[in-house]
Amino acid sequence: MSEILYRFVIALYGCLLYVSAFFSQKARQFIKGRKQQQITIPPNTKPIWFHVASQGEFQQALPLIDKIKKEQGSTICVSFFSPSGYRYAEKNSLIDYRYYLPLDTPGNVRRFVEQIQPKMAIFVKYEYWYFYFKYLAQKKIPLYVISAHFRDTQAFFKPYGFFMRKTLGFVDHFFVQTQQSIDLLSRIGISNASACGDTRLDQVLDLSKQAFIDDFISAFIGQNPCIVLGSSWPLDLQMFEPIFQDIKAKFIIAPHRLEDVNLAVQPGVRSVLYSQKNSYSKDQIVQAKYLWVDQMGLLSKLYRFADVVYVGGGFKTGLHNVLEPLAYKKPIIIGPYFNKFQEAVSGVEAQFIFSVANKEELFNKMQFFLFKCSEAQHNDRLQKTEEYISQNSQSTQKIYALIFDKKRQNDHA
């Protein structure tokens, strides 16, 4: 691919967005948000600019944003590619300015960068935009990529990936999650990389240490074993049918889509809704088997109540966050499709996360952790979990120190 072909691809993508806007609410928000936004950063503010794709990458950026705010007092500007991420960050007090990222054309790039005038740019995980990176390099604005993760199936490492490799060449430093990513970058001649882990782990560890007491949940669980289903899809619930029927436990179910609660809660089924917790009698709470979480933002706190956790999406739709239950050191079960998620790959390899391929394996694994796991087996899993946390935490501090030590060195050069 050449610059000319890349420009054509970006232009074609823009045209397709306009066409899809007739059918897609998300595409309409994508276009409308960019058309209406005005850059309001005062001249000479020199913010630190973070760019993220969406909500998940924003969560990866937050620990570093928080650290920079506390230590440097810097103005923070965050740009988003996705409307969902943009909306999610609306009320976050750590952000001074938030914008949609204009499409990667030379004109858009020049206008956007000149309007925000960042002192440095920090892109998160896998946002690689050729003209943005090139222009930042031309303007001598330091560019970092954090929580990056590379796989040998990516175009960067293919014979036809010369143009994509050229994009990587504009980056001042890569802060990657694993040594494997460093080895892959080294294979294509890139040596400016450090293995610092995933900043999300720092965030979820901090969250797990915050007190959270809920008398309704405690009364619901009582003395029973508790299974938490996090970010479950209808297919995940189908996989649980034998477990729902034959395993005596309490189930806290947090669907990925809130509308799935209405499909699942049927008359006569012993279910309670979290949003209506004040309307139930004590007997209704105690006798219920299923607690449906129909409010956003609670799941990361609810994992602490689990004896076993199942994280949804691994059978079809894409695995969800396993770091949140990992922070509580819970047994974690996932579906078979997890290879794009390094934390899940590491957990399965080290045997503190467990992948199952079908209903029978899921049933057996649940029974094992609830009723058959010996103290020695429990301690072995716990030790492996703690080793992973010890080796991969403090990512934020490592990245912060390297960025600002490097900046100080450059300032005095």
Give residue 117's domain range: 34-195
Digit-coded pLDDT (tens) for 164-178: 999 999 999 999 998
Q: Does 399 fall in a domain?
A: no
pLDDT at 413 over 80: no
Please tell me the predicted confidence (pLDDT) of residue 208.
92
Domain boundary residue, one of 160, 195, 230: 195
User: What's the distance, CA 51 to chain centroid?
Assistant: 14
Encode pLDDT of 119-149 as tens digits.
Answer: 999 999 888 999 999 999 999 999 999 999 9
Residue 2 belongs to some domain of the structure: no
**Choice among 23-32, 91-100, 380-389, 402-411 with the minimum mean pLDDT:** 402-411
Asked if residue 412 has pLDDT above 50, the reply is no
99 strand-pairing partners: 79
pLDDT of the residue at 1: 64
7 in a domain, yes or no? no
Kindly provide the residue ranges of all beta strands, DSSP E only, lying in 55-184, ordered along the sequence.
76-80, 97-100, 120-124, 143-148, 173-176
In the structure, what pLDDT confidence band is assigned to residue 76 with cuts at 50, 70 and 90?
very high
At 173 the three-state DSSP class reads: strand
Instruction: Give the model's confidence band at 269: pLDDT under 50 very low, under 70 low, under 90 confident, else very high.
Output: low
3-state secondary structure of 9: helix
Closest CA to 117 of 38, 35, 48: 48
Mean pLDDT of 328-353: 94
Q: Based on the domain organization, do 146 and 218 belong to the same domain?
A: no
Please tell me the distance from the alpha carbon of residue 163 to that of residue 409, in angstroms, as a whole number. Answer: 31
Q: Are 216 and 285 in contact (CB under 8 A)?
A: yes
Retrieve residue 32's tokens.
């409308």
126 and 70 in one domain? Answer: yes
CATH classification at residue 345: 3.40.50.2000
10 Å CB burial of residue 51 (0-12, 13-18, 19+) is buried
- Quick check: 71 pLDDT over 90? yes
**How many domains in the chain?**
2
- Distance (Å, rounded) from C-alpha 362 to C-alpha 348? 15
Average predicted confidence (pLDDT) for the chain: 91
pLDDT of residue 23: 82
50, 72, 196, 411, 412 from 408: Cα distances, Å: 20, 13, 20, 5, 6
Final residue of a structural domain among 130, 163, 195: 195
The rounded distance, in Å, linking the Cα atoms of 224 and 203 is 30
Question: The domain that contains 166 carries what CATH number?
Answer: 3.40.50.11720
pLDDT band with cut points at 50, 70 and 90 for residue 376: very high
pTM for the model: 0.81
Which of 110-114, 196-200, 240-244 has the highest mean predicted lDDT (pLDDT)?
110-114
pLDDT exceeds 70 at position 406: no
% of the chain exceeding 70 in pLDDT: 96
Same domain (yes/no): 159, 253: no
pLDDT in tens, 378-396: 999 999 999 999 988 899 9
Q: In one letter, which amino acid is 332?
A: I
pLDDT at 410: 53
Question: Does 82 score more than 50 pLDDT?
Answer: yes
